[in-house]
Structure 1
Amino acid sequence: MREREIPTTVVIDGESLTPEEVVAVARHDARLELADGAYEKMQASRERVESVIDSGDPVYGVNTGFGHLVETHIDTEDIERLQTNLVRSHAAGAGRELSIEEVRSMMVTRANTLAKGYSGIRPMVVELLADLLNAGVHPLVRSRGSLGASGDLAPLAHMALVLIGEGDAYYDGDRLTGDEALATVGLEPVTLASKEGLALINGTQLTVGLASLFVVDAERVVDAADAAGALTTEVTMGTTANCDPAIHEVRPHPGQQVSAAAIRRLTAGSTVLESHKDCERVQDAYSIRCLPQVHGAVRDAVEHLREAVEIELNSATDNPLVFPAGSVDERAPGTDVAAVISAGNFHGEPLALRLDYAAGALTDLAAISERRTDRMLNPKIQESYLPPFLTEHSGLRSGYMIAQYTAAALLNECRSLGRPSLDSTPVSGGQEDHVSMSGQSVLNARTVAENVATIVGVELLCGSQAAEFLPDGLGLGTGTGAVRDAIREVVPPLGDDRQLDGELEIAADLVRFGAIRAAVEDALD
C-alpha cells in the first residue's frame, strides 16, 4: 500500500499550522523552521514590551508578581530574575513523563503561537526552541499539574527549564541535565528577559498539541471502524440496505452520510451480500443496522473538536498579550507606545469541553464495535456457518473468546474516565477561581483513542477470521477484501490456540497509524 505524504519540513508563522503538521513533527521528526515574517512580528512585539518597561507602568507578569501576587511590584533590577524564578517555581508537575511525541507536539505548538507575534518574546528564544526540536533534545515533562488555566503552566515550565540550561532532557535515549543536553548538541542556554518566562509557560500547548495527535488518531479510528463494521456486516450475512442514500438524504447529518457512503464503497462487488438478498431475515441488529447513524455521530463530534484545534493552534493564548498602540480599545490599559492587556486566552475551555465530548463519542464507537465482535463470536447469535468463537474444535480451543474480554475491559476503562471539564478547583488564593482541566481532558482522550483502536482492531481480527469460514464461492467486497488482506499480511488465520496479545497490538497499530485507511484507499482508487 502506498505511503501517505508526510512533510519533511514544517514552516511555522503563527497562522497556518495544522494537526497533520503537528503529527509530522511529533511522530516523524519533520524539521521545524520559522517563516521569515515571524521574525519581524516577534521583534516588533519585543520592542513594544521594552517600551512598556521604560514607561514604568505596572504590567502583569512584566513588573508585577503572578496570580494572587499580582499587586506586588517588581523592581527594575529584578525583572529578569523574576522570569527565571517563574519557570523554576512552576516546574512542579507530577505523574508519568510525557512521551517523546507528546513533548514534541507541545514544543512545536508553543513555538508556533509565539511566532504569531503577540507574546513579547525575542526571536532568539523561539529559535532555540526550534533548534532543540531539530536536534532531537526533548525536555523531561511531567504529565500532571496543568489545570488548563492559566494554560498548561507546569508542563510548559518543565519544557522551558531546558532552554535556560536547567531541568532534564532526553537525547539519543540518554537522560541528561538541561545544560548537558544543550552542550551535547552545541547549543547555549538563554537568559530570559522581561516577560519571556511567562511567554513560554502561559498557554494551552500541552492541550492543543496532544489534541492534534488525538484528532488525527480519532479520524483514523473512525475510518477503521467503518471498515470493520462493513466486514462484520458481510460475515454475519447482514445487509447494506441501511446505507442506501435515500435513507440518509432525509436525515442529512454530514457524518452519517459519510459513513453510509463508506460502507457502500467498502462492500461494492461483494458476492456475500448478493447471496442472501432474498433471505427471510427482516432486520439486522442495531450494531449493524444503525452503524451509519452511530459512526456518523462520532465523526461529527471529532470534526467539532478539529474545528477548535485548528483555531487554537494558530491563536495567541498567553497572558498578557502585547498589541501595537492604537490597535485596541482606548479604554484598555497600555501606554502611548503599546498596549499590554491582561485577559484570558489561556483558558482551555474551548478545547476541554469538546475533548470530553469527542472522547465520549469515541467510547460509544467502541461500544458498538464490541457488540459487533460479540455477534461473530457468540454461539447463541452468530451465523450457523461460523464455529463458536471462530475456531474449529471449540471447547478444546477457545479461539478469540478472550480477545473480546480485552475489548470489554478497555471499554470499561473508557467509560470510567469521567469528564474533567465538569470540574473546577480554585487556586492561587482564589485569583484563578475557575479552571478548565483541559490538560486532564486531553490525557483522558488520548487513553480513549488508544483503547478504541485496540477494540476496533479486535473486531477486524475477528472479521478476518470469520471470513475464513465463508461458504465456497462467496467473496468479500473490494474494500473489505483489502481490509482482510491488510490484516492477513501481518496476522495469519487462527488455527490452534496461540498467544494473542501481540496480534491485538499489531491490529491496533494498523488502526491508529492509518494502515487500514490506506489499504481501503489503495483498493478503491
Structure 2
Amino acid sequence: MTDASSDAAPETVVVDGESLTPEDVEAVARRGAKVEIDEEARAAVVASRERVAEIVESGQAVYGLNTGFGQLVDTRIEESEIEQLQTNLLRSHASGAGRALDTEEVRSLLLTRLNALVKGYSGVREIVVDHLATMLNERIHPVVRSRGSLGASGDLAPLAHLALVLIGEGEATVSGEHGERERLSGAEALATAELEPLTLAPKEGLALINGTQLTTGVAALLVVDAERLAEAADAAGALTTEVTMGTTANCDPAIHRVRPHGGQAAVAEHIQELTANSEIVESHANCDRVQDAYSVRCLPQVHGAVRDAIEHLREAVEIELNSATDNPLVFDAENADNRATGTDDAVVISGGNFHGEPLALRLDYLVSALTELAAISERRVDRMVNPNIQEDHLPPFLAEDSGLNSGFMIPQYTAASLINEIRATGRPSMDNTPVSGGQEDHVSMSATSAFSAKSVLENARTVVAVELLTGSQASEFVDDSLAHGRGTSVVYELVREVSPPVTEDRSLDADIEAVAELVATGLLEERLDDVM
C-alpha cells in the first residue's frame, strides 16, 4: 500500500505481505518510492524463523533445511555443512544468461521477493528482509541475468543472481558521486549502505530463490501499462471515428445491455465520453451511410474483450503479489495438517506454490488480446490513409500535395510491420522441458511469457501511437469550424504538443516515439482524466 504524506514527500510503500498492488510496484520500480516493513509483518518473520530453528534442532530430515535440492532431495546434509549448503545453492543456481534486467525489472524483483518473505511462511531471519529493504531504498541494484527461469521451481536463476549480492558475491550497480551508475562487487555495493554480507542460515538460500517474483514483478508492470494502452486505444479509436465521419451509434447503451460483457459496456461508455459534444460527429448524424466498417463499428466489442483479458491478468497478479510462493513453507502446527514434517509447534510442508502456471496462461492470453488491439488499430490507420477507401475530405495518405509528398504512407507500413512481429510471438506456457533429472518434469515458462508479453505490449503501444498521430493529421482536413469532442480535443491538443501538423514530408520516427511516450508515461490518461 502506497502512502504519501504530502505532495513534496517521497512516496513510501509499506510492505506487509498482504496489500501490495501493481500500482505500488510501479511506484517503487519506476519512481523510486521508498519501502518500509510493516511491524506486524516483521513479527510474523520473527515467529517463522523461530519455527525453523525448532525444526532444525529436532534433527528431522526436512527438504530445504538439511537435504539436497531437486533430484538430490534424498541426500542428507550433515549439520556442520548446512550453512555451506545455502551458499552453494545460490552460487550454483546463479547460472542465467542473456541481457541484464533493467532498473525497473530489478526493483520490481526486489520488492516482490521482499513482500513474499514478510508474509511469515518462509523462515528467513529479520536481517534478510531488512537487507532487501535497504537495497531498494539505497538503490543497490543486483546485476540479474534475465534468462534461465522455467517458472518452476519459480524464477530460480534470476533470483539466485539477486540473492548473491546479499552474501557479498555477484555484482550490483549503485549511484556514483555524479549520479552515474557504478558496477561493483556484491560486497562493495553493500558497503555503500554500510551493510555487511550475510552468512545464510538454514532454509534462507532456498527461501530467497524459490518463487515467481520475476514473473510477478514484470506482470505487475504489464498490468499498469496494458490498462494505459487500452485507454489510449479507446482515445485513438474515438479520434479516428470522428475524422472518418463515423457514427457513435454503435456505443448506444441499449446495444450493450443485451450483450452485457463488462469490458464491452465500459468501452462503449468511454467512447461516448470522449466524443461528447463533438460537432464533427453531429455534422453527419443524418448522412446516408448505414454502417461503419468493423474496425470502427465493433470497437467496443474488440477493445472490451481486451479490457476483460487485462482484468483477468490483474486478478492473478494481485493474488500472486501477496502470496507465499517458495518451498517448503513453514506453518504454525495449529494451522497445518498434522501429517507434515515438524514438531508439536511447527511444521514444514513441501508443495508447489512456486509453479508459475496461474500467471503464465494469463500472460499468454494478454499477448493474444494485445495482438487484436494492435490489429484493429492498424486497420483504422489504413482507413484514414488508403485512397481506395478513405473519405472524400481526406487526401491520399493525408498528404497536402500527394504525389510530391507521401504523407502518412510509411507510418502505416511501420504499423503493419509491428503487427507481423506481434503475430509471430509464441505462447511459451504451451511448452515444457523436464529438468533436474525428471524431478521437475512439468514447468510453466512463466518468465518467458512475461518477457514475450512485454515485447508485444511495447509494439502494440507503437501501433496505437501511429493511429493517434494519423488521426491528428487527418483532423487537419476536417472543417475547422467543427469542434472535436470533450476527450478527443484533449487527445488532438496533446499530440500536437509533441508533433506539429505535417505540411510537407519529414521524418516521423521521432514523432511516433514521442506519442508512444505520452501513452507509456500515463500523461495521455492523466490529461483525459482531468476533463472526463
Corresponding residue for residue 266 of structure 1:
274
Query: Which of the numbers 77, 80, 94 marks the counterpart of 1:77?
Result: 80
1:247 aligns with 2:250: no
Corresponding residue for residue 60 of structure 2:
57
Query: Which of the numbers 31, 34, 44 marks the counterpart of 1:31?
Result: 34
Corresponding residue for residue 473 of structure 1:
481
1:342 maps to amino acid: S
1:369 aligns with 2:377: yes
Q: CA deviation at 1:509?
A: 1.2
Q: CA deviation at 1:326?
A: 2.4
CA distance in 2, matches of 1:77, 1:432: 28
Query: Which of the numbers 402, 408, 411 marks the counterpart of 1:403?
Result: 411
1:66 aligns with 2:74: no
Helix, strand or coil for the counterpart of 1:398? Answer: coil
TM-score, scaled to structure 2? 0.96
1:498 aligns with 2:506: yes
Helix, strand or coil for the counterpart of 1:478? Answer: coil
TM-score, scaled to structure 1? 0.98
Query: Which of the numbers 286, 289, 314 marks the counterpart of 1:281?
Result: 289
1:190 aligns with 2:198: yes
Q: CA deviation at 1:97?
A: 1.1
After superposition, give the CA deviation of every residue in 1:196-229 in whole Å (9 maximum; x if it has no partner): 0111000000000000000000000000000000
Q: CA deviation at 1:331?
A: 2.1
2:75 maps to amino acid: T
RMSD: 1.2
Cα contact 2:26–2:221 (8 A) shared by 1: yes
Query: Which of the numbers 496, 518, 527 marks the counterpart of 1:488?
Result: 496
Cα contact 1:390–1:400 (8 A) shared by 2: yes
Corresponding residue for residue 383 of structure 1:
391
Cα contact 1:22–1:213 (8 A) shared by 2: yes
After superposition, give the CA deviation of every residue in 1:33-55 in whole Å (9 maximum; x if it has no partner): 10011111001000101111100
Query: Which of the numbers 168, 171, 174 marks the counterpart of 1:168?
Result: 171
The 3 A distance-change label for structure 1 pair 6 and 505 is: farther
Cα contact 1:32–1:130 (8 A) shared by 2: yes
Q: CA deviation at 1:121?
A: 0.2
Between 1:470-479 and 1:159-168, the stretch displaced more is 470-479
Q: Which runs of 5+ in 1 are unaligned?
A: none
Cα contact 1:7–1:21 (8 A) shared by 2: no
Cα contact 2:67–2:77 (8 A) shared by 1: yes
Query: Which of the numbers 351, 355, 362 marks the counterpart of 2:363?
Result: 355
Corresponding residue for residue 98 of structure 1:
101
**Following superposition, which runs of at least 4 residues in structure 1 exceed 6 angstroms of deviation?**
4-7
CA distance in 2, matches of 1:472, 1:440: 49
Between 1:254-263 and 1:333-342, the stretch displaced more is 333-342
1:311 maps to amino acid: I
1:106 maps to amino acid: L
Cα contact 1:258–1:296 (8 A) shared by 2: yes
Cα contact 1:119–1:199 (8 A) shared by 2: yes
Corresponding residue for residue 450 of structure 1:
458
Corresponding residue for residue 434 of structure 1:
442
Helix, strand or coil for the counterpart of 1:103? Answer: helix
CA distance in 2, matches of 1:402, 1:491: 16
After superposition, give the CA deviation of every residue in 1:165-192 in whole Å (9 maximum; x if it has no partner): 1111111212111111112232221111
After superposition, give the CA deviation of every residue in 1:283-315 in whole Å (9 maximum; x if it has no partner): 100000000000000000000010000000000
After superposition, give the CA deviation of every residue in 1:410-455 in whole Å (9 maximum; x if it has no partner): 1111111110000111000000000000000000111111111111
2:17 maps to amino acid: G
1:274 maps to amino acid: E
CA distance in 1, matches of 2:191, 2:451: 32
Cα contact 1:407–1:458 (8 A) shared by 2: yes
Helix, strand or coil for the counterpart of 2:35? Answer: strand
1:344 aligns with 2:313: no
1:324 aligns with 2:332: yes
Cα contact 2:134–2:193 (8 A) shared by 1: no
1:58 maps to amino acid: A
1:177 aligns with 2:185: yes
Q: CA deviation at 1:394?
A: 1.5
Corresponding residue for residue 159 of structure 2:
156
Corresponding residue for residue 15 of structure 1:
18
Cα contact 1:245–1:260 (8 A) shared by 2: yes
Helix, strand or coil for the counterpart of 1:371? Answer: helix
1:216 aligns with 2:219: no
Corresponding residue for residue 90 of structure 2:
87
Q: CA deviation at 1:278?
A: 1.1
Corresponding residue for residue 127 of structure 1:
130
Cα contact 2:360–2:429 (8 A) shared by 1: yes
Q: CA deviation at 1:477?
A: 0.4
Cα contact 1:147–1:436 (8 A) shared by 2: yes
Corresponding residue for residue 115 of structure 1:
118
Q: CA deviation at 1:332?
A: 2.4
Helix, strand or coil for the counterpart of 1:489? Answer: helix
Cα contact 1:325–1:339 (8 A) shared by 2: yes
Q: Which runs of 5+ in 2 are unaligned?
A: 1-6, 176-180
**How many residues end up aligned between the 2 structures?**
521
Cα contact 2:163–2:208 (8 A) shared by 1: yes
Cα contact 1:256–1:292 (8 A) shared by 2: yes
Identity of aligned residues (%): 67
Cα contact 1:6–1:24 (8 A) shared by 2: no
1:444 maps to amino acid: S
Between 1:230-239 and 1:328-337, the stretch displaced more is 328-337
CA distance in 1, matches of 2:210, 2:234: 40
Q: CA deviation at 1:7?
A: 7.0
1:453 maps to amino acid: R
2:54 maps to amino acid: S
1:48 aligns with 2:51: yes
1:404 maps to amino acid: Q
Cα contact 1:14–1:38 (8 A) shared by 2: yes
Cα contact 1:7–1:24 (8 A) shared by 2: no
Query: Which of the numbers 290, 297, 313 marks the counterpart of 2:298?
Result: 290
2:113 maps to amino acid: R
1:509 maps to amino acid: E
1:69 maps to amino acid: L
Corresponding residue for residue 225 of structure 1:
233
Query: Which of the numbers 489, 507, 521 marks the counterpart of 1:513?
Result: 521
The 3 A distance-change label for structure 1 pair 98 and 329 is: same
After superposition, give the CA deviation of every residue in 1:499-520 in whole Å (9 maximum; x if it has no partner): 2111111111111221111121
Helix, strand or coil for the counterpart of 1:33? Answer: strand
CA distance in 2, matches of 1:167, 1:411: 39
Helix, strand or coil for the counterpart of 1:58? Answer: coil
After superposition, give the CA deviation of every residue in 1:300-358 in whole Å (9 maximum; x if it has no partner): 00000100000000000000000012211122232223110110000000000011001
Cα contact 1:52–1:337 (8 A) shared by 2: no
